[in-house]
Chains A and B, each alone.
Chain A
Amino acid sequence: MADLSVKFAGVQSPNPFWLASAPPTNTGDQIMRAFDAGWGGAVWKTLGEPIVNVSSRYSTVDFNGQRVMGLNNIELITDRPLAVNLREITEVKKRYPKNALIVSLMVESKREKWHEIVRAAEGAGADGLELNFGCPHGMSERGMGSAVGQVPDYTCQITEWVKEVAKTPVIVKLTPNVTDVVYPARAAKKGGADAVSLINTINSVTGVDLDTFTPRPDVGGRSAHGGYCGPAVKPIALNMISSIAKDPEVRIPISGIGGIATWRDAAEFILLGCTSVQVCTAVMHYGFRIVEDMIDGLSNYLDEKGFRSVNDLIGRSLPSVTKWEELDLNYKIVARVDQQKCIGCGVCYVACTDGAHQSIAARAEHGRTHVEIIEETCVGCNLCSLVCPVEGCISMVRDDTGRPPLTWKQYQEDPSAHKHLGPHNAH
Chain B
Amino acid sequence: MESRSNPFSELKPPLALDAALAEASRCLFCFDAPCTRACPTHIDVPAFIKKIATGNLRGSARTILEANVLGASCARVCPTEVLCEGACVMNDLHAKPIKIGQLQRHATDWAMAHGVRPFSAGPKQPGKVAILGAGPSGLACAAELTRLGIEAVIFEAGKQGGGLNTSGVAEYKMTPEFALREVSWLVEAGVQIKTGVRVGSDLTLEELEAQFDRVFVGVGLGRIGKLGIPGDDLDGVVDAIDFIAELKLERAQAKVGRRVAVIGGGNTSIDCVTQAERLGAEEVYLIYRRGPEEMPAYRHEVELARASGCRFIYLAQPVRILGRGKVEAIELARMRLGAPDASGRRRPEPVGGDNQILDVDMVISSTGQKPRSELLELLEPKGIKLDRGRVAVDERTMRTSNPSYYAGGDCVSGGKEVVNAVAEGKLAARSIAADLRHLWK
Q: Which of A343, A362, A367, A389 contacts B31 (CB under 8 A)?
A: A362
The reply to whether A347 and B30 contact each other, CB–CB distance below 8 Å, is yes
- A346 in the interface (beta carbon within 8 A): yes
- B22 in the interface (beta carbon within 8 A): yes
Q: What residue of chain B has the Cβ atom nearest to residue A346's Cβ? A: B31
How distant is the Cα of A342 from the Cα of B366 in the complex, in angstroms? 43
The reply to whether B31 and A350 contact each other, CB–CB distance below 8 Å, is yes
- A84 in the interface (beta carbon within 8 A): no
- B378 in the interface (beta carbon within 8 A): no
- A120 in the interface (beta carbon within 8 A): no
The B interface is mostly helix, strand or loop, or mixed, namely helix
The reply to whether A345 and B30 contact each other, CB–CB distance below 8 Å, is yes
Q: Which size class do A's interface residues fall under?
A: 10 to 19
The reply to whether A343 and B21 contact each other, CB–CB distance below 8 Å, is no
Q: What residue of chain A has the Cβ atom nearest to residue B29's Cβ? A: A347
Q: Which among B22, B31, B32, B89 has the highest number of chain A CB atoms within 10 Å?
A: B31
- A369 in the interface (beta carbon within 8 A): yes
How distant is the Cα of A346 from the Cα of B90 in the complex, in angstroms? 13
Q: What residue of chain B has the Cβ atom nearest to residue A63's Cβ? A: B25
- A349 in the interface (beta carbon within 8 A): yes
Q: Which of B24, B26, B28 contacts A347 (CB under 8 A)?
A: B28
Q: Which of A65, A347, A362, A390 contacts B25 (CB under 8 A)?
A: A65
Please report the number of residue pairs spanning A and B whose Cβ atoms sit closer than 8 angstroms. 47
- If A367-B37, A389-B93 touch, does A345 touch B18 (CB 8 Å cutoff)? no
Q: Which among A349, A367, A369, A390 has the highest number of chain B CB atoms within 10 Å?
A: A369
Q: What residue of chain A has the Cβ atom nearest to residue B23's Cβ? A: A65
The reply to whether A65 and B34 contact each other, CB–CB distance below 8 Å, is no
The reply to whether B25 and A345 contact each other, CB–CB distance below 8 Å, is no
How distant is the Cα of A345 from the Cα of B21 in the complex, in angstroms? 21
The reply to whether B18 and A389 contact each other, CB–CB distance below 8 Å, is no
The distance from the CB of A288 to the nearest CB of chain B, in whole angstroms, is: 26
- B92 in the interface (beta carbon within 8 A): yes
The distance from the CB of B418 to the nearest CB of chain A, in whole angstroms, is: 23
- Binary B-proximity of A57-68 (CB < 8 A = 1, otherwise 0): 000000011100
How distant is the Cα of A343 from the Cα of B90 in the complex, in angstroms? 8
Q: Which residues of A contact B31 (CB under 8 A)?
A: 345-347, 349-350, 362, 369
The reply to whether A346 and B25 contact each other, CB–CB distance below 8 Å, is no
How distant is the Cα of A64 from the Cα of B37 in the complex, in angstroms? 25
The reply to whether A65 and B32 contact each other, CB–CB distance below 8 Å, is no
The distance from the CB of B37 to the nearest CB of chain A, in whole angstroms, is: 7
The reply to whether A65 and B28 contact each other, CB–CB distance below 8 Å, is no
> What is the interface size of chain B, counting residues whose CB is below 8 A from a CB of the partner?
20
How distant is the Cα of A66 from the Cα of B26 in the complex, in angstroms? 11
Q: Which of A65, A343, A364 contacts B18 (CB under 8 A)?
A: A65
How distant is the Cα of A390 from the Cα of B32 in the complex, in angstroms? 18
Q: What residue of chain B has the Cβ atom nearest to residue A363's Cβ? A: B32
- A297 in the interface (beta carbon within 8 A): no
The distance from the CB of A225 to the nearest CB of chain B, in whole angstroms, is: 24
- B237 in the interface (beta carbon within 8 A): no
The reply to whether A389 and B28 contact each other, CB–CB distance below 8 Å, is yes
Residues from 338 to 367 in A contacting B, C-beta threshold 8 Å: 343-347, 349-350, 362, 364, 367
- A98 in the interface (beta carbon within 8 A): no
- A368 in the interface (beta carbon within 8 A): yes
- If A65-B22, A367-B34, A368-B34 touch, does A344 touch B92 (CB 8 Å cutoff)? yes
The reply to whether A346 and B22 contact each other, CB–CB distance below 8 Å, is no
Q: Which residues of A contact B33 (CB under 8 A)?
A: 346
- B53 in the interface (beta carbon within 8 A): yes
Q: Which residues of A contact B37 (CB under 8 A)?
A: 367
How distant is the Cα of A290 from the Cα of B61 in the complex, in angstroms? 41
Q: Which residues of A contact B26 (CB under 8 A)?
A: 65
The reply to whether A344 and B89 contact each other, CB–CB distance below 8 Å, is yes
* Additional A-B contact list (12), CB under 8 Å, known A65-B18, A390-B93: A64-B22, A64-B25, A66-B25, A343-B93, A345-B30, A346-B30, A346-B32, A346-B33, A364-B32, A367-B34, A369-B30, A369-B32
Q: 27 A–B contact pairs at CB < 8 A?
A: A64-B53, A65-B21, A65-B22, A65-B23, A65-B25, A65-B26, A66-B25, A343-B90, A343-B92, A344-B34, A344-B89, A345-B89, A346-B30, A346-B31, A346-B32, A347-B28, A347-B29, A347-B30, A347-B31, A349-B31, A362-B31, A362-B32, A367-B34, A367-B37, A369-B32, A369-B34, A389-B28
Pick the 7 closest A-B CB pairs, nearest first: A346-B31, A65-B22, A64-B25, A343-B92, A343-B89, A65-B25, A345-B30
